Amino acid sequence: QKEVEQDPGPLSVPEGAIVSLNCTYSNSAFQYFMWYRQYSRKGPELLMYTYSSGNKEDGRFTAQVDKSSKYISLFIRDSQPSDSATYLCAMSESMNTGFQKLVFGTGTRLLVSP
Amino acid sequence: GAGVSQSPRYKVAKRGQDVALRCDPISGHVSLFWYQQALGQGPEFLTYFQNEAQLDKSGLPSDRFFAERPEGSVSTLKIQRTQQEDSAVYLCASSPLAGDLTDTQYFGPGTRLTVL
């Protein structure tokens, strides 16, 4: 079993829909949680970053972390065709490594149709 | 300013050949990471440099994989005697600081390696 589980999709939604993307994890030492967006033939780019539990909002994006359930979510409001991409969750531990050693999920492919 | 660049963007190798993949990080970035992304999977950590020092190489799949960053800027990932299972996209990322767990990693576009 992988440390981070993520449904690969694809997830197809109409323009304007609210999108919910999720990951579960097994390593209780993870303290830093990130969401990356990856367009085809491109490298991942950081969307959201959250430390420990709680919510964080940035424009149309909201990230949630529930450490008690080992579950993180990314919500996208008013989805646009330009949001069509693969969304990767990523996590890292706190002090054991001394640097940001990311563990990624498999990524969920999102398709937003006009 | 320029982002992280990688070359070549695409590489086809015959099984058994050696390959070298180059990463040019953002100027001044202290930390540099290499990841391997297989088809339909998320990136997997390979190795980490802080300046020229390779502090973690725990993710390198075998001793056929070797990475270096001799002057603390450009990095090269070398794969000897390539195998079909080495086919993947190799991503390089850099971040400004050293040992900062909140730092943002900036990724390059990757090198797609196909081993025939």
Per the omega criterion (within 30 degrees of 0), is the bond before B8 cis?
yes
Q: What is the pLDDT of residue B84?
A: 97
- A48-105 confidence digits (pLDDT tens): 999 888 899 999 999 999 999 999 999 999 999 999 999 999 999 866 667 888 999 9
- A2-16 confidence digits (pLDDT tens): 899 999 899 999 999
**B50 vs A99: CB contact, 8 Å cut-off?**
yes
- Residue B105: DSSP 8-state: P
Q: What is the mean pLDDT of residues A23-38?
A: 95
Count other C-beta atoms under 10 Å from residue B77's C-beta. 24
Residues of B in contact with A95 (CB under 8 A): 101
Q: What is the mean pLDDT of residues A11-28?
A: 96
**A107 vs B108: CB contact, 8 Å cut-off?**
no
CA–CA min distance B46, chain A (Å): 10
List, in sequence order, every residue forming a beta bridge with B37; answer none if it has no partner: B89
3-class SS letters over B26-37: CCCCCEEEEEEE
Q: What are phi and psi of B46, to 5 degrees?
A: -110, -55
Spatial distance between the Cα atoms of A91 and A23, rounded to a whole number of angstroms? 10
Spatial distance between the Cα atoms of A98 and A104, rounded to a whole number of angstroms? 18
Low-confidence ranges of chain B (pLDDT < 50): none
